[in-house]
Structure 1
Amino acid sequence: MAKMKITGTGSYLPELTVTNQMMTKIVDTSDEWITTRTGISERRLSSGEPTWFMAAQAARKALAEAALDPAQLDIIMVTTCTPDYYLPSAACIVQAELGADRAFCFDLNAACTGFVYALDMAARYLSDPNIHHILIVASENISKLVDYSDRSTCVLFGDGASAVVCSRGSDEDPSALLATRLGSEGQTGHVLVSRALKVRHPFLAEGAVWPDRFGEHADHTLTMEGQEVFKFAVRVLADSVLEAAAQAGVNLTELRYIIPHQANARIVEAAARRMKADPAQIISRIADFGNTSSASIPICLDELVRAGKLQRGEKVAICGFGAGLTYGAAIFSY
């Protein structure tokens, strides 16, 4: 158990709302086809906002909620697989936007599991007596990776950002990170891929570039083996929550909410059945936002906090999965 307290949350969602009906104008699909297979009705897409801008907007809201001056931050982590630059990091850009000059900054890419990994890392850093406040920002412009001629993937994704401020809690405070269960299965990385730049320089011999590790891809747009991802996701979402709960000594019935990565309604429903969770515990907002990658879990958390639906001391499970393949769950007392 780590004495970590989430003291502020905040989110940013672009104004551009793309409905399923709008999707039918660009690919051979229908509202009925999308909703029955994914549970998605609409998604937000960037109106031109870069990843760093969405991150900074979400961060400002979280800091305001925490009543924390940016100068008090010790660490800024940004979880993203869609940065605007290879360098500098998105976290350093957020630092500059906020004026958080004391913080050290880095990006973390565990794809859609990124926020769970970051929360685990924040708790570990907070065990250092010199670290007091950490800002985690999950910001994703997944639309940059999407092939909008591929109807099987383009209907799934949305853009958005969310942030949390994590601070060291006192011994009397009920807030704590109770347990985490993180994992990766790199041997099946080929089922969800987006390629980066290939080797290229003027001294390279003709034909010397190695073939793609995961098969030839014409560009950076993502490819996905849907059935394999589905089977993996259902298994690891359920099993990681159950393992984390056992590690924390918490019964599933003690959890106020279970917030899964918002990838697909059918995945979430199947995982809930596998872990035998009460459907009333499961948070699902995929109908309105689609899959916003690592931002999906903290967006849901921010909504619950701001609506007054989550009280101090209540226990929450979060669970994610993503490319890599990666997965993870965390149990915390809010």
Structure 2
Amino acid sequence: MLSGLASAASVGKPATTQAPVSVVFLNPGYADEPFWLEYVAYMHDAANDLGMQLRVLNGERDPLKLLQHAREVLQAREQPTYLVFVNEHYVGPEILRLFADSKIKLFALHSTLTPDQQAIVGGSREKYRNWIGSLVPNDEEAGYLMAKALIAMAPASAGEMVAFSGVKQTPSATLREAGLYRALAEHPHVRLKQLLYGEWSEQRAYEQASVLLARYPEVSLVWAANDEMAFGVMRAAAEKGRQLHYSGLNNSKRVLQARIDQRISVLVSGHFILGGCAMVMLHDHAAGLDFAARGGKDQQADLFRLLSRQESIRLLRRIDKHAAKLDFRRFSAAFKPRLQGYDCSIEALLR
């Protein structure tokens, strides 16, 4: 399991010398989507630190386009060492089938195959031997942390909440919802009036909230599975003169500033460096240092955490100065032969 932060003091020379490792990342998001822009930036930082080659293909929130990119990678004359995919819209099994006879190694990032999917196609290193593993964040915990902190702002006697989840066919959304329901079960005095799927979109959430808030005049709490949807609800509430408490998730400059200004009451973040951590694991795997020996073939990174106002100020300053860069060699077993497990978090950016 990934947690904490490794010390930079013990970073040394790599354990082995290797040719550049090439990686293609099938990004499910839009090319200009703020979250994925930041996410990919850390993957590029890691690639530069580790001497790897990274190419990103954007799916534009279209599973058909994402699968077309996968086919192009498979048919290309020059093929990468690794293909990194996200199980957005549950496309994981189809990607595994496409690459079943390929020498390209597959790695699931951010969201992996669901238990139901794995019951049919198997887990990593089983039926599809070239699917070598996965790395995901603690999404259920993120949903729980947001809900718990938001519920604390409800009246002691009773409270009403509405919730905005992401894309329905996405493990990240499903897991964050599970965290929400776990928190609600612990606090039955708060009632969830309705959950909608805002599809991670500010405009979609705005349109939904414009109708929903009129339906529930007593609602005071808004749980949103990302920052864009929170801003959409906020815009609709402002038009109706409603004062509400919001949760949000991500690390955009906009949401960090909203947390600082206390327009967002609860903010969870930390997973934006997950792709960089995956690059470290693939770098080591290519060097003959299998990450499975350091935490297992399928790992969960405990990256999500609540950000206080002061922590949001510090993180925003780092990003504003374009100094929010980590030396990803510090996390690599190739540079730290005594490494027992992969430690990766945003603690260094908050100190």
| TM-score after normalising by structure 2 | 0.29
Structure of greater Rg: 2
Q: Which has the higher helix share?
A: 2
